[in-house]
Amino acid sequence: MAADGNMKPAKKLSLKENYAMLTRGLDWEPTYQKKEDIFRMIDFEGIKIHDWDKWEDPFRLTMDAYWKYQGEKERKLYAIIDAFQQGNGQFNVTDARYLQALKIFLTGIVELEYASHRGFCMLGREFPGAGPRIAAQMQSIDELRHCTTQIHAISHYSKYFEGMANFPEQFDRVWYLSIPKSFFEDACTSGPFEFIVAISFAFEYVLTNLAFMPWMSGAAFNGDMSTVSFGFSAQSDEARHMTLGIEVIKFLLEQDPANVALVQKWIDKWFWRGYRLLALLATMMDYVLPKRVMSWGEAWTIYYEENGGALFADLARYGIKPPKYADVTIKEKGRVSHEMWSVFYANRDAVNFSTWLPSEEEMAWFSEKYPDTFDKYYRPRFEHWRQLEKEGKPFTCKCLPQLCQVCQWPCLYTEPDDATEFLHRETEYKGETFHFCSDGCKDIFADEPEKYVHAWLPVNQIYQGNCFLPGVDPTAPDFNPLVEALKYMGLKPGVDGGLLKDSIDAQRWEQWTSRPANIHEGAYTDFVRKTTNG
């Protein structure tokens, strides 16, 4: 330090210098405890890191800047949510059909933000470098933000519509919600390096636009001011997270050539797992949104084939190849949403949202967007089902489907090269047979069978009589596992699921708004007819 009387003006620091100074030498160099006792999780996966300092925190945000920046965004967001609530904005969305998308969102996606928050928090504790730790903590609290603000953006809808009120319990219990739940639990129960490749790179970087497009653009297209405001507010957070995703992958690949094979394995696994998770969004995008943004097929072409193609071309210099089975995703892009909407329609009494069949006009749209597949494979099916509805005996599935041991979708996808043939793979492990929806999922199981034998498969659990509320006697002669399972999942017959036209939400919607509950079908009730005729 300068001696007295020798004081030059203080040096001005640039933002970058300021950040470097404030965090300079902050990190821990333990001497009283062994480093491996403090950071216990960093070795078991086999990733080799020689210099943690090469991984700088890409956000370079000091906390004062973070608080101010985020605080300002929160002020704006809550001003909009308040105005939305005060102005009964829930009635400004397109129709009651759009609300079915919000049910999937609140029960299936919000908890993923929460899981991501906890997962990144573990990394924020376990990474031995200050830069990576701080970056992970920043992302962790951002994800907490997303979970919180999504709940706040949607809670008002839950006051007027069914199917959203017990979202945390349903996330734990509803059979198809084990698809998103198992996805994130798979990541969080992995090691820290696999987690960050899975979530930051494979999900946030490669696939995030495919998740944002159906939800946030879908909200914008359908007049959902509350949800789309969340989307705008989260955009800059997401941009930071994507930056982390690409930086981390380059860091891992540059640290040691031996990392390449492991990273490739995780990219293959998590691309496939993420892709299967997105089938939920594909279905929503094509079938649920009353006003569509684009088709799933188009989205996959732009956001995976084109953008992802450029990304993997760029990573080729590290020895990274495009994900295994990427070709299958392209073969499936004209089929996924139609096949999975069929699954939901057939099992509509056991889900927390209502379903319907596409109208003539919608089917014409599908024919145009999916010229190679829709008329050939799916139009006849939907026309047949519509006929059955007209005859008053709509098609339903009488038993629950076989689930894939890895992604937990029903095994009702079709062969990559034959859309008329259901795809089914199985394998034997320790004397037991396990079932898969695809080669991708079968490979994932084969690599870590001990992990996946523990998967909590809802259908298997229901048939084993494990899904019932306290006080129910599974040995009683009239015990019906399916009926009890619905209660366990918090699904009320006649309120949740079923056909939209019969649903209480649709009736209330038309009563309250005098507008059709499904803009593609016209009025279901006299509430709309009266107004439009009179």
Partner 1 sequence: MTVEIRTTGVKPIRNAFTHLEKRFGDKNATRYQESAYDIQPLVNFHYKPLWEPDRDLYDVRRTAVVMKDWYALKDPRQYYYGAYTITRSKQQDALDRQLDFVEKRDLLRSLPLAARQQLVTALIALRHYEFGANMNNSHMAAYGFGTIFTQAAMMNCMDRLGMAQHLSRIGLLTDGNTGESLTEGKRQWMDEAAWQGVRRETERLFVTRDWFELHVAQNLVADGLVYPLFYQQFDAAFAAQNGSALSSLTDYLMRWYDETNRWVEAIVKTAATESAENATLISGWTTKWRDAWVAALQPIASQILGDKGTSALDAVTTAFNTRAGKLGLKL
160 binds partner 1 (CB under 8 A): yes
Query: For the stretch 172-203, what's the b/e string if a residue is b when 16 or more beta carbons lie within 10 angstroms of its beta carbon?
Result: ebbbbbbbbbbbbebbbebbbbbbbbbbbbbb
Which one of 107, 149, 355, 503 is in contact with partner 1 (CB under 8 A)? Answer: 149
The continuous run of DSSP H or E covering 466 comes out as none
If the CB atoms of residues 106 and 293 are measured against partner 1, the closer one turns out to be 106
If the CB atoms of residues 230 and 304 are measured against partner 1, the closer one turns out to be 230
If the CB atoms of residues 74 and 415 are measured against partner 1, the closer one turns out to be 74
Cα(397)–Cα(407) distance, integer angstroms: 21
If the CB atoms of residues 78 and 312 are measured against partner 1, the closer one turns out to be 78
Which one of 107, 139, 140, 373 is in contact with partner 1 (CB under 8 A)? Answer: 140
Q: What's the min distance (Å) between Cβ of 258 and partner 1?
A: 19
Tokens of 367: 């024919």
32 binds partner 1 (CB under 8 A): yes
Cα(250)–Cα(129) distance, integer angstroms: 16
Cα(345)–Cα(357) distance, integer angstroms: 8
Piece of the chain touching partner 1 by CB under 8 A; list 143-151, 212-220, 224-232, 266-274:
143-151
* Lookup result for tokens 């991984």: 55
Q: Identify residues 323-342 at the interface with partner 1 (CB under 8 A).
A: none
Piece of the chain touching partner 1 by CB under 8 A; list 127-135, 220-228, 314-322, 373-381:
127-135
If the CB atoms of residues 191 and 214 are measured against partner 1, the closer one turns out to be 191
37 binds partner 1 (CB under 8 A): yes
Q: Identify residues 451-510 at the interface with partner 1 (CB under 8 A).
A: 451-452, 454-456, 458, 461, 490, 508
User: For residue 131, how many other CB atoms are within 10 A of its CB?
Assistant: 21
Closest CA to 231 of 376, 372, 109, 53: 109
If the CB atoms of residues 162 and 362 are measured against partner 1, the closer one turns out to be 162
Which one of 30, 46, 474, 522 is in contact with partner 1 (CB under 8 A)? Answer: 30
Q: Confirm if 414 and 339 have CB atoms less than 8 A apart.
A: yes
DSSP letter string, 58-106: SS---HHHHHHHHHHHHHHHHHHHHHHHHTTGGGGSS-HHHHHHHHHHH
Q: What's the min distance (Å) between Cβ of 180 and partner 1?
A: 11
Which one of 92, 137, 208, 307 is in contact with partner 1 (CB under 8 A)? Answer: 137
Q: What's the min distance (Å) between Cβ of 233 and partner 1?
A: 10
Which one of 40, 54, 384, 530 is in contact with partner 1 (CB under 8 A)? Answer: 40
12 binds partner 1 (CB under 8 A): yes
Helix (H, G, I), strand (E, B) or coil at 452: helix
Q: Confirm if 167 and 106 have CB atoms less than 8 A apart.
A: yes
Cα(125)–Cα(78) distance, integer angstroms: 31
Q: Facing residues of 414 across strands?
A: 422
Q: Identify residues 290-319 at the interface with partner 1 (CB under 8 A).
A: none
Q: What's the min distance (Å) between Cβ of 359 and partner 1?
A: 28
Cα(398)–Cα(396) distance, integer angstroms: 6
Q: What's the min distance (Å) between Cβ of 13 and partner 1?
A: 5
Which one of 118, 250, 265, 376 is in contact with partner 1 (CB under 8 A)? Answer: 118
Q: What's the min distance (Å) between Cβ of 51 and partner 1?
A: 20
If the CB atoms of residues 210 and 500 are measured against partner 1, the closer one turns out to be 500
Q: Identify residues 77-96 at the interface with partner 1 (CB under 8 A).
A: 77-78, 87-88, 91
Q: Identify residues 163-222 at the interface with partner 1 (CB under 8 A).
A: 164-169, 171-173, 178, 181-182, 185-186, 188-191
Closest CA to 355 of 396, 412, 400, 295: 396
User: For residue 54, how many other CB atoms are within 10 A of its CB?
Assistant: 13
Piece of the chain touching partner 1 by CB under 8 A; list 158-166, 369-377, 412-420, 434-442:
158-166
520 binds partner 1 (CB under 8 A): no
Piece of the chain touching partner 1 by CB under 8 A; list 125-133, 224-232, 324-332, 386-394:
125-133
Q: What's the min distance (Å) between Cβ of 287 and partner 1?
A: 26
Which one of 114, 266, 382, 409 is in contact with partner 1 (CB under 8 A)? Answer: 114
265 binds partner 1 (CB under 8 A): no
Q: Confirm if 253 and 263 have CB atoms less than 8 A apart.
A: yes
Closest CA to 61 of 111, 114, 23, 93: 23
Piece of the chain touching partner 1 by CB under 8 A; list 5-13, 205-213, 389-397, 423-431:
5-13
If the CB atoms of residues 16 and 393 are measured against partner 1, the closer one turns out to be 16
Of the chain, the end-to-end C-alpha distance in Å amounts to 86
153 binds partner 1 (CB under 8 A): no
Q: Count residues contacting partner 1 (CB under 8 A)?
A: 102
Rg (the chain; Cα; Å):
25
> What string marks each residue from 422 to 461 as x (binds partner 1 by CB under 8 A) or -?
-----------------------------xx-xxx-x--x
* Lookup result for tokens 């490979």: 443
C-alpha to C-alpha distances, 93 to 96, 108, 291, 418, 429, nearest whole angstrom: 8, 20, 10, 39, 50
AA identity, residue 216: M
148 binds partner 1 (CB under 8 A): yes
384 binds partner 1 (CB under 8 A): no
1 binds partner 1 (CB under 8 A): yes
Tokens of 342: 């069929």
AA identity, residue 255: Q
Alpha-helical segments (H) within 159-224: 167-173, 178-188, 192-196, 208-212, 218-221
